[in-house]
Amino acid sequence: MKLLLIGSGGREHALAWKIAQSPLLEEFYAAPGNPGIGEHAVLVALNIDDHDAVLAFCREKGITFVVVGPEAPLVAGLADSLRAAGLAVFGPSAAAAQLEGSKGFTKDICARFGIPTGAYQRFNNAPKAKAYVREQGAPIVIKADGLAAGKGVTVAMTVEEALAAIDDCFEGAFGAAGAEVVVEAFLDGEEASFFCLCDGKTLLPLATAQDHKRVGDGDTGPNTGGMGAYSPAPVMTPDLVERTLKEIIEPTMRGMAELGMPFSGVFFAGLMITAKGPELIEYNVRFGDPECQVLMTRLKSDILPILYATATGTLDQVTAQWHDDPALTVVLASKGYPGSYEKNTPIRHIPAESADAKVFHAGTAMKDGQLVATGGRVLNVTARGKTVSAAQARAYALLDTVEWENGFCRRDIGWRAIERE
């Protein structure tokens, strides 16, 4: 198979690393990729927003399968453009990607198909949103409707904080994403993520994971894209996984098909495990970053036939085998992240991979023959172990051999699971 992978983060490096192990792979391209992905695929400088250019490249190289990593090109309809030209694509249509692209859309799907989630209202102006907040009281959650790189959500502990968040949204803090606001009931519980493939009519559950969104140890400081993750998430007992499938994922799959926008790709369900059971916080329509890194580290099966089956409506014909051992990944980020940080700082040494540990590249680049850090989240040090504590010890031991002065990380990734062990 000749394959093109779209994306350039740690998630895509993990996918590339796993895809490259497939005996079915003949030629492998990635756009734009990063130096880690470049160890497995030929990197191409394509403008992903230019769907015709992506298609022309696929035609030129005889590429038949495109795997889309991030959400933005999916929301922009890249999968639709490529599918219309006869290519197989892993990733949903623009219509189905609204599950991530519009929080209001997802809440309406939940209301219509009886999916458990916090009570909510949608607003397109501040006065009405504020009146609703005053009526409901705090704690309460204010969300910009559109894609806001994970920054559009305020969990407000006071009414004043909620009112300020509403002003921020409508005053343009999140650009067009904040033109509409969802005000949502605060859900109390432990968060977990559930990943499940869907080809429109069949589901293949993958695994559970837990992210660490706050920048600081002990879950303190501002939100980030994710500072580390592990899989599986012990909070997700087999019973809760079953309930998540029956009460959340299956009704979404059926509902989307019924509305004429069948979902194809990966459901990444952000869940709150409340006293009532699993409730949906949000959907993402792509793998999590850094959750994908731990999923790929645990997956035993060849991923290529699984992704291809998802894209071609034959998910009922494949299965996925997993290492029982947990995997854990620690994000090394540039000092200052998620605020401003220095770019192009040199990374002098990255340790080699072993059977069950690997450093994935996220925001890295080659400049004049030197590997440098260009992003906020830069490296993902990932390991498997018999327990989460063992995986954690291995990941931090490996991380401490990375030579990069401008990097920092959390030192407590996995603490919830380790407390349980």
Q: How many residues bind ligand AMP (CB under 6 A)?
A: 13
User: Which H or E element spans position 77?
Assistant: none
Residue 141 neighbours by CB distance under 10 Å: 20
User: What tokens were used for 415?
Assistant: 């603490």
Q: Which residue is nearest to ligand GLY (CB)?
A: 226
Verify binding: residue 213, ligand AMP, rule CB under 6 A: yes
Q: Which of 35, 38, 255, 270 binds ligand AMP (CB under 6 A)?
A: 270
Q: Any idea how long the chain is?
A: 421
* Residue number, 73 or 288, with CB nearest to ligand GLY: 288
User: What tokens were used for 146?
Assistant: 């559109």
Rounded Cα–Cα distance for residues 170 and 165 (Å): 9
- Least CB distance from residue 139 to ligand AMP, whole Å? 8
Verify binding: residue 281, ligand AMP, rule CB under 6 A: yes
Span near ligand GLY by CB under 6 A; candidates 108-116, 232-240, 287-295, 298-306:
287-295
Sort 13 into a burial class: Cβ within 10 Å, 0-12 / 13-18 / 19+: buried
* Residue number, 218 or 346, with CB nearest to ligand AMP: 218
124: Cβ contacts below 8 Å, ≥ 6 apart? 179, 180, 181
| Binding track, positions 199-218, relative to ligand GLY; x by CB under 6 A | ------------x-------
Verify binding: residue 265, ligand GLY, rule CB under 6 A: no
Q: Which of 12, 100, 282, 291 binds ligand AMP (CB under 6 A)?
A: 282
* Cβ pair 27, 4 in contact under 8 A: no
CA–centroid distance for 123 within its chain? 27
Q: Which residues pair with 155 in a beta bridge?
A: 141
- Least CB distance from residue 289 to ligand GLY, whole Å? 4
* Residue number, 40 or 107, with CB nearest to ligand AMP: 107
User: What string of H, E and C letters represents the secondary structure of 113-132?
Assistant: HCCCECCEEEECCHHHHHHH
Verify binding: residue 219, ligand AMP, rule CB under 6 A: no
Verify binding: residue 221, ligand AMP, rule CB under 6 A: no
Verify binding: residue 70, ligand AMP, rule CB under 6 A: no
SS3 of residue 30 by DSSP: strand
Rounded Cα–Cα distance for residues 194 and 206 (Å): 8
Q: Which of 80, 145, 289, 302 binds ligand GLY (CB under 6 A)?
A: 289
Verify binding: residue 229, ligand AMP, rule CB under 6 A: no
Give the chain's radius of gyration (CA, Å).
21
User: What tokens were used for 244?
Assistant: 């998540």
Q: Which of 32, 35, 77, 150 binds ligand AMP (CB under 6 A)?
A: 150
| Binding track, positions 177-196, relative to ligand AMP; x by CB under 6 A | -------x-xx---x-----
Which chain residues interact with ligand AMP by CB under 6 A? Answer: 118, 141, 150, 153, 155, 184, 186-187, 191, 213, 270, 281-282
